[in-house]
Structure 1
Amino acid sequence: MSYSVDDDTKYDEAVQADAGVTRAVQSELEDYDAIVEEAKLATAAQHSLTLREGFRRYPAAMAWSILLSSALIMNGFDIVLMGSFFGQPRFQQRYGVQLPDGSYTITAAWQAGLSNGAKAGEIIGLAFNGYIVERFGCRRAMMAALLYTVAVIFIPVFAQNIETLLAGQILSGVAWGCFETMTCTYAADIMPVQLRPYLTAYVNLCWVIGQLLASGVLRGTLALESAWAYRLPFCLQWIWPVPIAIGCFFAPESPIWSLRRQGRDAARKNIRRLLSNPTDEEVDNQLAMIVHTDAMERSVSAGTSYADCFKGVDRRRTEIATGVWVIQTTCGSSMMGLSTFFLIQAGIPTDSAFTLSIGQYAMGIVGTVSSWFLMRYIGRRALYFWGLLVLLVLLTLIGVMGCLSGSGPQWAVGALLLVYTFGYDATVGPVCYTLVSEIPSSRLRPKTVVIARIAYNAMSIVTGIIMPYMLNTDELNWGAKMGFFWAGLTALCALWTYFRVPEPRGRTYGELDVLFHGRVSARKFASTKVDQFAQSGVSRFESGKEDKGEKEHIERVRDV
């Protein structure tokens, strides 16, 4: 018996679980037959679950995921704070240097240092986070990171010099690194197939909400003449940690982690807390699906270390997760992070630049919500790929505007940034979190996501170094012409996406394991039918469109 994404879907290829994997699972599970039958029922239930039914059956899981993901609002808030402070007069006077014309500026070196300090701290937090989550679980690790954040916020609030401010950024980044991976990992672990894209993409919405709030706060503090023009925004970060930490205390742990670290009874208990009035049969079926998938993955790769992420089929999964996250920073998104400073350098008045940035992030929220519907009908791969092509066009247009003089092109740059933000947050931004959460194996998901995020942060440090030099009038002074640079990188990103990023829409984690183990081409994931419960025969790919009277055509679809 086999299950597909949609019973009415016509597939070009079919693949079964490898016979060796099946035998290994059979030898490991004493209750193999019962587990398989229950896992089949759970898989069928996942595929037949409608969106409305998912909202009705999983309200608790959605609420817990939303709560934990809300910690990322602080990350988005701070990114805009620091980038916008570079153009805020009070901040420039306090931490900058005076230019010959009497004005103040934050030097390119310190802009790079402050932007990258948080990224460096995030890398440290990410490296430890993989071990901490594996040992203590997502819930307790999140609580510790939130309480740590309460303490380190004091440093930027009362920093007397730019060196202390840098130290605060680095230490704050340690906690932010934990938030960046735990939130999407937790959402991926606890949500059913139909709800996965919405709750993993919600992580991106939290970033945008933080950016919007920061833009509004900065616009409101422009009139302040004292140090509170930049201290007050830092203080507002204290709003989030304690309430979220209290919520985490009562949240259920990931059933996948519970199974590996605490056993079936603990996993069953957490499954029950995630469902709305489940029957014992439903809980047992979901537990069986997790047990079967875990056993399959152990038969392929028994380890859960960082090194295991680069072995066998998991190496490909790590490459994909890393690539889609790195693309977030190589497709020109850095221009949004420094949007206020960029607009001021383009010639737009300071007040107008801050006002326009608020509209920019409001468009980001609309874009992220739009991605929920687009992913449902278009899929992850197509939306990600075509989104990059749209961004490529917009970046090219921004570069063209940078070659023109006058106020018209300057305001056109601001309008294009609004459109860019909407396009990014409707495609690449949220789809990235869904892909990064779905592509890794369940056993290696925390560490694969950590590796991907570290790569993203490393690339962000590079862009953080070069962006100030591109923008500053006393350096390269490219202004909007930098759009050409990012357009070139975006073209390369789109090419890689076409050949390497698969379509995981509608697949259970067990089915994705079979597809990756069978080395199915990224371009054929959506057109391949999967049977993860095959109990005999050799792993194969067979044509699903054979003519009557012809022999069955069997072929191996090689990954490209």
Structure 2
Amino acid sequence: MGQPSRSENPSSGFAVNEVATFDDARNANSQEHELTLLQALRMYPRAVFWSLIMSTAVVMEGYDTKLIGTLFAQPAFQKAYGKQASTGSFQVSAPWQTGLSNGATGGQLIGLLMAGYLCERFGFRITMISGLSTVVALIFMTFFAANLVVLEIGQTLFGISLGMFQTLPVIYALEISPLSLRAYLTNYVNFCWAFGQILATGILRGVLKLDNEWAYRIPFAVQWTWPVILIPLLFFAPESPWWLVRRGRVQEAREVLHRLVSSQHVDFDFDKHVALMVVTTEHERTVNAETSYWACFQSANLRRTIIVIGIYCIQTLNGNPLRGYSTYFLEQAGFPTVQAFNLGIAGYGIALAGGFFSWVLLPLFGRRTIYLWSLVLMFVIMLLIGILGVPLAKTGNVSYSWAIGSLLLISSFLYNCSIGPLTNTLCAEIPSSILRSKSIALARWSYAISTIVAGVLTPYQLNPTAWNWSAKTGFFWAGGCLISIIFTFFLVPEPKDRTAAEMDLLFEKKVPARHFAKTQVDFSDAVYEQEIKTV
């Protein structure tokens, strides 16, 4: 059996002229394609377990994203931090809503860039544990915040820690699982995000009748739950074998595979699968040996970086900010506070159902097909919400409010069975393996910028003391959907059933996005020819 590497030094390179190694990689690549979903579940149960554990941290992001936006509709929070409006009700002003909504997002900009460096320097496990540990301390600031200034500072600092582990679960899920499981495990990350949102809405609904400070402090305190559970578990988690290969620690990568694969599969060839990782990594280094953020914008990586940035920004452009403010939006659209909270909970229950339904769609259609047509449907929904908002503003008829509420629920299901989960899958599969962490960090960074812009606009669009667009805001996000459709049609490729090496070659050959699914690739022959030229 050819050994996957002759050196533990990542800079020394792999013995690319060793024919046996390429034969091992070719065989492992073929096995990746032949492995069915059920076979993969039986072979990689431990990989599934650790991926689910790592992804659970995203519950915190979904929870925090929903928490502040929903608190704006809570009477106790409004009275404690808001001012009395001309209508007699208490409202947190639009500028403060904007600041609080963007506080955590602004902090995430710093945390994301730190994570792109730290996870490649220290590994996924250490970076995740460090981020969760700092979260424990920072929750104290928001829990005891006596005024909006302290709450704003707490949210911003909390966002830095949150940014440190936002992208890690997606990359970790992809790098510890076989080809047939990757879409399902990366999709699960979005399920955790949706669960965090429904948890925030449910807890806030449960404390709605409280008229004191505990109505909003209890929801902040719940955030301590996840670090306490996850930190001890992640201490025992295996590191990504791809990361170990990138660091030149090939023997450790082989040992990690032993931990991830069921002991019942004694015929599993660990050397061949490590060889595939090494050959893919070294091929990417021959194309561009740099692993800095700047390398993401060079040669074929520029196209890949633009695509993942665009996909992440589409999460904002398709109307997600409107759904994030759903409880407050429904309240402004004419629903009583209790009904607005109830519909908000129903919306996120439907979102969870959408997450499960996404797993049904994955084996039936390509990623690009699902993603593109879901954006078309979202465009229609947002347009209808805007149209219904016109007579609602004139008549105040409650039937229009119910129609708008129903469309919002449908959009939540649609997003969570397609656009939301596929964002993680596409953005994990499109970058090169050596730049995956930094590419996704840049994409999430750009998404955070788009969220900040939307966070400035949305409160003004919905707040009755500002622009007061109410449901007519749907027209604005319909325009965002149209931009997203055009971008997806021309730029987003089909990565389904493609290994990392095959994706590398499709981008290097400059295959148009629309032709990825039909283009034939013999990865090992092409890699071997190019590597021999460099030896």
What TM-score range do you get, normalising by the shorter chain?
A: over 0.9
Residue 155 of structure 1 pairs with residue 141 of structure 2: yes
Instruction: Report the 3-state secondary structure (helix = DSSP H, G, I; strand = E; otherwise coil) of the residue aligned with 2:364.
Output: helix
C-alpha distance in structure 2 between counterparts of 1:225 and 1:317, whole Å? 51
Residue 257 of structure 1 pairs with residue 248 of structure 2: no
Match of 2:60 among 58, 74, 82: 74
For residues 273-293 of structure 1, the C-alpha deviation after alignment (integer angstroms, 9 at most, x for no partner) is 111124475211110100110
C-alpha distance in structure 1 between counterparts of 2:244 and 2:87, whole Å? 63
Match of 2:416 among 420, 425, 431: 425
Instruction: Report the 3-state secondary structure (helix = DSSP H, G, I; strand = E; otherwise coil) of the residue aligned with 1:109.
Output: helix
Which residue of structure 2 lines up, in the alignment, with residue 302 of structure 1?
289
User: Could you tell me the percent identity over the aligned residues?
Assistant: 45
Number of aligned positions between the proteins: 515
C-alpha distance in structure 1 between counterparts of 2:112 and 2:511, whole Å? 31
Q: Is the 8 A contact 1:59 1:276 kept in 2?
A: yes
**Could you tell me which amino acid in structure 2 is paired with residue 250 of structure 1?**
F
Match of 1:335 among 312, 318, 322: 322
Q: Is the 8 A contact 1:26 1:32 kept in 2?
A: no
Farther off after superposition, 28-37 or 472-481 = 28-37
**Equivalent residue runs for 1:526-545 within 5 Å:** 526-534=517-525
Which residue of structure 1 lines up, in the alignment, with residue 22 of structure 2?
36
Q: Is the 8 A contact 2:44 2:261 kept in 1?
A: yes
Q: Is the 8 A contact 2:383 2:475 kept in 1?
A: yes
Which residue of structure 2 lines up, in the alignment, with residue 51 of structure 1?
37
Residue 208 of structure 1 pairs with residue 194 of structure 2: yes
Q: Is the 8 A contact 2:16 2:528 kept in 1?
A: no
C-alpha distance in structure 1 between counterparts of 2:176 and 2:447, whole Å? 25
Farther off after superposition, 29-38 or 329-338 = 29-38
Instruction: Report the 3-state secondary structure (helix = DSSP H, G, I; strand = E; otherwise coil) of the residue aligned with 2:521.
Output: strand
Which residue of structure 1 lines up, in the alignment, with residue 432 of structure 2?
441
**Could you tell me which amino acid in structure 2 is paired with residue 412 of structure 1?**
A
For residues 359-378 of structure 1, the C-alpha deviation after alignment (integer angstroms, 9 at most, x for no partner) is 10011011111111212211
**Could you tell me which amino acid in structure 2 is paired with residue 510 of structure 1?**
A
C-alpha distance in structure 2 between counterparts of 1:288 and 1:423, whole Å? 40
Which residue of structure 2 lines up, in the alignment, with residue 312 of structure 1?
299
Over 3 Å counting, the alpha-carbon distance change for 1:175 and 1:535 in structure 2 is closer
**Equivalent residue runs for 1:409-420 within 5 Å:** 409-420=400-411
Q: Is the 8 A contact 2:127 2:165 kept in 1?
A: no
For residues 396-420 of structure 1, the C-alpha deviation after alignment (integer angstroms, 9 at most, x for no partner) is 1101110113110011111111000
**Equivalent residue runs for 1:376-525 within 5 Å:** 376-405=363-392, 406-525=397-516
**Equivalent residue runs for 1:6-405 within 5 Å:** 28-29=14-15, 32-277=18-263, 278-279=265-266, 282-405=269-392
Farther off after superposition, 368-377 or 335-344 = 368-377
Q: Gaps (5+ residues) in structure 1?
A: 1-24, 540-560
C-alpha distance in structure 2 between counterparts of 1:402 and 1:527, whole Å? 44
Q: Is the 8 A contact 1:398 1:483 kept in 2?
A: yes
1:476 is displaced (CA, Å) by 1.0
The alignment yields a C-alpha RMSD, in angstroms, of 1.6
Q: Is the 8 A contact 1:381 1:501 kept in 2?
A: yes
**Could you tell me which amino acid in structure 2 is paired with residue 311 of structure 1?**
Q
**Could you tell me which amino acid in structure 2 is paired with residue 377 of structure 1?**
L
C-alpha distance in structure 2 between counterparts of 1:376 and 1:107, whole Å? 47
Instruction: Report the 3-state secondary structure (helix = DSSP H, G, I; strand = E; otherwise coil) of the residue aligned with 2:525.
Output: coil
Instruction: Report the 3-state secondary structure (helix = DSSP H, G, I; strand = E; otherwise coil) of the residue aligned with 2:292.
Output: coil
Instruction: Report the 3-state secondary structure (helix = DSSP H, G, I; strand = E; otherwise coil) of the residue aligned with 2:179.
Output: coil
C-alpha distance in structure 2 between counterparts of 1:182 and 1:43, whole Å? 25
For residues 20-51 of structure 1, the C-alpha deviation after alignment (integer angstroms, 9 at most, x for no partner) is xxxxx999516621211111111111111111
Q: Is the 8 A contact 2:490 2:513 kept in 1?
A: yes
1:137 is displaced (CA, Å) by 0.3
**Could you tell me which amino acid in structure 2 is paired with residue 301 of structure 1?**
N
Over 3 Å counting, the alpha-carbon distance change for 1:445 and 1:101 in structure 2 is same
Runs (4 or more) in structure 1 with deviation over 4 Å come to: 25-28, 535-539
Higher helix share: 2
TM-score of the aligned structures, taking structure 2 as reference length: 0.94
Farther off after superposition, 527-536 or 145-154 = 527-536
Instruction: Report the 3-state secondary structure (helix = DSSP H, G, I; strand = E; otherwise coil) of the residue aligned with 2:146.
Output: coil
C-alpha distance in structure 2 between counterparts of 1:395 and 1:224, whole Å? 35
Q: Is the 8 A contact 1:510 1:532 kept in 2?
A: yes
Higher relative contact order (CA 8 A, sep 6+): 1
For residues 312-362 of structure 1, the C-alpha deviation after alignment (integer angstroms, 9 at most, x for no partner) is 000011011111000000111111110100000001000000011111001
1:88 is displaced (CA, Å) by 0.6
1:189 is displaced (CA, Å) by 1.0
C-alpha distance in structure 2 between counterparts of 1:247 and 1:127, whole Å? 25
Instruction: Report the 3-state secondary structure (helix = DSSP H, G, I; strand = E; otherwise coil) of the residue aligned with 1:122.
Output: helix
Which residue of structure 2 lines up, in the alignment, with residue 13 of structure 1?
none
Instruction: Report the 3-state secondary structure (helix = DSSP H, G, I; strand = E; otherwise coil) of the residue aligned with 1:529.
Output: coil
Over 3 Å counting, the alpha-carbon distance change for 1:81 and 1:526 in structure 2 is same
Which residue of structure 2 lines up, in the alignment, with residue 4 of structure 1?
none
Q: Is the 8 A contact 2:14 2:279 kept in 1?
A: no
Instruction: Report the 3-state secondary structure (helix = DSSP H, G, I; strand = E; otherwise coil) of the residue aligned with 2:205.
Output: helix
1:101 is displaced (CA, Å) by 3.6
Q: Is the 8 A contact 2:495 2:503 kept in 1?
A: yes
Q: Is the 8 A contact 2:366 2:496 kept in 1?
A: yes
